Structure 1
Amino acid sequence: MFGTAFVAALSALAWLAWLGWDSEHQADPATGVVTGPYEAWQVAGCGISLLILLVVAELVGVRALPASAALTLGFTAAWTTQAACSDTTGLYAVGSMMLLAGLGTAAAMASGAVIGIRDRRGHTSGEVKLTPRTPRSRPISGRSGYSISVSAGRRDGRMRCSPARRVRPGSTGRESNIA
């Protein structure tokens, strides 16, 4: 719980540090087009900061879904507070919903990538392995030629199952002709 609150607070601070201080619009003198208030480098820096925050939070143990939700809600709340104070049209609510949907989607995709990369690194503990049956082991499933061994749990407390291998009865399982 503390980790998610910390993520929400840091995401609001990222908004304040990168975007919260700039409220000036820029006008192009040649075309008269008004842009802003944010410059491209501010938005890019803020996005990279949020990505780093999310990845670090997940790597230190904050669960992916709460971290993504906290990042999204903290940043959106900070943006909405400032926008509501300065908007006279009421369109800040539309912008707030668009920010919530866009940042929520991006955070969920980034969390999925972190989970995928973390899980591909392969934790050896916690795997369920199908090994050849020895005369001393009895197969749990009741089929000849199979035995199941389970090692201790992984650091994150989840079990990880590896694909089962079928070993011919009478073989040691170390030959290259495993079916």
Structure 2
Amino acid sequence: MLSIRAASPADVDIVTEIEAKCFPPAERASRERFVERLGAFSDCFLILMKDDRPVGLIDGMVTDNRTICDEMFADAKMHNPDGHWQSIFGLAVIPEEQHQGYASALMRAFIEKARQEGRDGVILTCKKHLIDFYSGFGFVNCGISKSVHGGAVWYDMELDFRAAKVAK
């Protein structure tokens, strides 16, 4: 049985382990970084459970920036609970549970959470091969990001809820 639950600071080992299984060393957050993030914005973490076992996560701070900058990954104090944009730092499903729709379930839940909180939208960075995946949720590719996190080339993606309201 699948369920998605909010995280708490007590989940630091869970999120650290999932992240370590899913991201290369240069891109993953350390346990210390997760301690800081969970202390500052644990309400911006969701954990996917399968039969009472954690298999995925999604997280990111709230900001007034319309794009993610590298400083955000290092400084949890940049979280602004009253900000307009929900960022996504990581979307991860452990390898043995991938390709079953779990990442999509986490995305839908996180997007809906941001809508319910009255955010203007959701922002993220992704690698080129994931642009189509995120576009399927309504994200627009805003071009190559200024972020050089982990030495990779990233693309800024934005889901603007305000634009969706105008389009209706």
- Does the TM-score normalized on the shorter chain lie above 0.5? no
Larger helix share, 1 or 2: 1
Which of these two proteins has the greater Rg computed from alpha carbons? Answer: 1
Higher relative contact order (CA 8 A, sep 6+): 2
Q: Which has the higher strand share?
A: 2
